[in-house]
Amino acid sequence: MTTRVFGEIPGIPEGSEFENRLFLSKYGVHRPIRAGVSGRATEGADSVILSGGYEDDEDYGHTIIYAGNGGRSYKTGMQVADQQLDGKNLALALNHKHDLPVRLVRGANQKNPFAPEHGYRYDGLFNVASYWPATGRSGFVVWYFRLIKP
């Protein structure tokens, strides 16, 4: 089992770019190859990827409204069920409770001025300032996490 690292990864400065998710995993920036949240409900989340996968994500640069994990169709990528405060969502909630930083990675699939042109970019540490459930754009409950760059 790999030791979870909260905070900076030695030798990987903010702004480091990666060709794909395999390289993010290899260098320990974001370990899961597919999941948007790296973490456990019992420990917290060490990293998240913002890559255009959830329609309810909002990226304002130093403030992000991050739509939680779950409830999406694997075939269409659309929200088809309510999210729960468990698993990866509970991991992010623990970051708020215990004041643990989370590494933010942005992917080029986002259509906004903060996204890299290609691949993925490590954009530093963010704090989970708050979280709440609300009805998302598709009519299902989504857990939202306000991430703020200190």
Amino acid at 97: K
Buried b (16+ CB within 10 A) or exposed e, 12-51: eeeebebeebeebeeebbbbeeeebbbbebeebbbbbbbb
What is the spatial distance between Cα 25 and Cα 13, in angstroms, rounded to a whole number?
Answer: 15
pTM: 0.93
Which 3 state secondary structure label does DSSP give 48? strand
Question: 């990528």: which residue's tokens?
Answer: 77
Per-residue tens of pLDDT for the chain, all 150 residues: 456 789 999 999 999 999 999 999 999 999 999 889 999 999 999 999 998 878 899 999 999 999 999 998 888 888 999 999 999 999 999 999 999 999 999 999 877 899 999 999 999 999 999 999 999 999 999 999 999 999
List the alpha helices (DSSP H) in the chain: 21-26, 87-98
| Helical spans, DSSP H, in 58-112 | 87-98
